[in-house]
Amino acid sequence: MSQMRTLKTDGLTQAILEAGEGPLVLLIHGFPELAISWRAQVQALSAAGYRVVAPDMRGYGGTDKPERMADYGMLNLVGDMVDLVRALGEERAVVIGHDWGAPVAWHCALMRPDLFRAVAGLSVPFQPRRASGPPTPAMAAISKRAGLGDLYISRFQAPDAHAQMQTDPATTLRKMFWAYDGSTDAADRSTGFLPPGLSLMDSIADRAAPPPWMGAAHFQEYVDAFTTGGFRGPVDWYRNLDANWAATAFLQDARIRQPSLFIVGENDPVRHYAGAAEASLQDWLTDLRGQPVLPGAGHWIQQERADEVNALLLAFLGQPGVGRD
């Protein structure tokens, strides 16, 4: 049986969902999610003999929400996971991330291979540091050349980008989950690109409804958490993209050499703007054990396709050198 509790790490109180005994597996959520997005995985992996821990990440849910934008950089996020492993009394872990949690997981493996012995990413592939310059000007240039409008990530750089989301958290969450789900008609799914003057929320139809896999009680957990905690901290993760690039010159051309896995939904809208990185994953993940694409699935795959994702993760964890010494 899983339970939520809080524990103190270096300068941060983290809320975690945990269950089981055995080798440690960390599950890192993305935007706009919470630890509860991993409930099905916590149950399945703990039943298979693993100690499974899913934190509310910095700025989310029951975890602390620092006031400074600069406190949401990648070095902070990786540090939180390193501190969490130590606070749990463990020495090694497998790290698995979805959405924004995937870059955090990739960087955990990249920066601390001694601590994170294997890594899996869901929905967002590993993207190496660009030697040519920071990411947001490159995103803007690519969008302009393609005539696609602004990528929503570019819009999220504005200091008030979170304000519209906070005026009605229920509508924000309903639209986000609907627009990135595999069950939503292709014409209604977001591409991530926005016409001039149109916000991400305004680009999604008002008829949006929570996806079929999200019951009313589960949806209300998200609404309650974001009504209380807001969206400023989560959006600050995006506002640190260029600062992350500046802080990680030491990782230029570095490769992930631990056993790795990447899972993506066939109809995940993220593939419109991050999909090109999938083709070169083997160049950067030198022990890539698999790269499955789930037919018809959208972005929220660990919830939308829980059984399939559980099976893939358990198969990965069971391979030599992954889940157990």
So where are the chain's domains? 3-131+247-317, 135-241
Which pLDDT belongs to residue 139?
84
- 31 or 199, higher pLDDT: 31
% pLDDT > 90, the chain: 88
Q: What is the pLDDT of residues 255-275, one digit of tens each?
A: 999 999 999 999 999 998 888
| Sole residue written with tokens 């977001």 | 190
The verdict on whether 98 is a catalytic residue reads no
Name the DSSP class of 112. -
Which pLDDT belongs to residue 140?
83
Identify the band that residue 224 occupies on the pLDDT scale cut at 50, 70 and 90.
Answer: very high
Whether a cis peptide bond, with omega within 30° of 0, leads into 169 is no
Indicate the average pLDDT of the chain: 95
Q: Nearest 5°: CA angle at 45, between 107 and 13? A: 55
Which pLDDT belongs to residue 109?
98
With a threshold of 0.95, does the pTM exceed it? yes
b vs e for 186-219, b when ≥16 Cβ sit within 10 Å of the residue's Cβ? eeebbebbbeeeeebbebbeeebebbebbeeeeb
Among 99, 150, 236, 268, which one carries the catalytic annotation? 99
The interaxial angle of helices 101-111 and 74-87, nearest 10 deg, is 70
Cα 73 from chain centroid? 14
**3-state class of 98 per DSSP?**
strand
Judged against a pLDDT cut of 90, whether residue 1 lies above it is answered with: no
Output the CATH code of domain 3-131+247-317. 3.40.50.1820
Judged against a pLDDT cut of 90, whether residue 324 lies above it is answered with: no
Q: What is the pLDDT of residues 85-116, one digit of tens each?
A: 999 999 999 999 999 999 999 999 999 999 99
The verdict on whether 202 is a catalytic residue reads no
